[in-house]
Amino acid sequence: MSELSSDLEKKIELKGMDLNEIGTIIKNLREKPFRAKQLYKWLYRKSAFSFDEMSDLPLILRNYLSKRAELKLLEPKKKVSSKIDASTKYLFKLRDGNCIESVYMEYQGRKTVCLSTQVGCSLNCSFCSTGKMGFIRNLSTGEILDQFLFINRESDFSITNIVFMGMGEPFLNYENVIKAARILNSELGPEISARKITISTSGIVPAIYRFADEGHKFKLAISLNATTDAQRDKSMPINRKYPINVLLEAAKYYTRKTKRRVTFEYVLIKDFNDSIDDAKRLRKLLSDIPCKLNLIPYNETEFSPYKIPDEERLEKFIKEIHRAPFAVTVRRSQGRDIKGACGQLYLQTKNE
């Protein structure tokens, strides 16, 4: 077997490589080209934890890769399963000692994994626990994928949906997120349908235009969470750079360019954005955009002063917004008893 070229002599991170990149590795090793597809399947479809599991690869190749390639990019540090719903939260430790969170959820027959894309976040949304961490770094494509691969392997059933809504802002780690989504969608990989992969953004407007222009078939979700710039400035500082009217123009462009609906997420916070006037403004803001609206009652955390609206106020808001011409769903937060909101488990563990 030939040695890898000098730029590959150091230990390489195989997870996160696409089929062409793996093909280059195999070619440099002077192995038969079909070995690339075998290795790709072991990485992404079969979620191999070690090279020893890759039984249809030659032993000499497995031994060589085990010395030259990195396979394990994270390890479970803590796992907490809810007693009130079918959700499980994972705290993973990365090789550099940093930690990230992922969540498994079941809802209306869907088995969904929520993936993190960054360690921490720079956007400092006031209702989000992750913002309290500040930004540390982007996750590699492999680190994003390894969250899914670990949870999928541990499960007794196949994951049906992926949401990039965990720690961090996905569109501030654009290339790695898109590459991870493509691998998750790939025919030789997990083969998750593109329409079952959702990428959420707090409103990084240039990336929304880019996402539309590149023609990705993955779903787009935008966290709106306010009906006035004053509200959104306070809760989501990114609004000072990309105010609501600019954000909604980008959303309209996306729907025109792709011929697909955009999903808006609206976290309902007591006495902040849950009034009847808010519901009326929200209906007016979104009425001329092909969209779906997800209403999410706030998941309270000890790191934020915000509270969930009481049921009466919540029902009045929902009744008002249901007069809108677009689809509306109410998505109750899962995992309240396991620190289900992004960043909660990390901060709690750090403070223990």
For the record, the structure tokens of 180 come out as 């991870």
Residue 101 known to be catalytic = yes
For the record, the structure tokens of 33 come out as 């080209």
User: By three-state DSSP, how is residue 107 classified?
Assistant: strand
Q: Which residue has tokens 């808010």? A: 278
The full 3-state SS of 29-85, as one line of letters, equals CCCCCHHHHHHHHHHHCCCCCCHHHCCCCCHHHHHHHHHHEECCCEEEEEEEECCCC
* DSSP β-bridge partners for residue 111: 106
Residue 31 known to be catalytic = no
Sort 214 into a burial class: Cβ within 10 Å, 0-12 / 13-18 / 19+.
exposed
Catalytic residue chosen out of the listed positions 114, 121, 128, 342 = 342
d(CA 112, CA 101): 14
In 3D space, the residue among 22, 26, 20, 28 whose CA is nearest the CA of residue 4 turns out to be 28
- Let me know: does 334 contact 82? Beta carbons within 8 Å: yes
Catalytic residue chosen out of the listed positions 31, 99, 101, 300 = 101
User: Distance of CA 120 to CAs 93, 113, 125, 269, 350, Å?
Assistant: 13, 19, 12, 23, 13
List CB contacts of 69: < 8 A, sequence separation 6 or more: 11, 12, 13, 14, 51
Q: From its phi and psi, is residue 97 left (phi > 0), alpha (psi between -120 and 50) or beta? A: left
- 119's enclosing H/E stretch is strand 118-120
DSSP letters along 207-246, please? HHHHHHHTT--SEEEEE---SSHHHHHHH-GGGGTS-HHH
User: By three-state DSSP, how is residue 162 classified?
Assistant: strand
Sort 335 into a burial class: Cβ within 10 Å, 0-12 / 13-18 / 19+.
buried
Q: Residues with catalytic annotation?
A: 101, 342
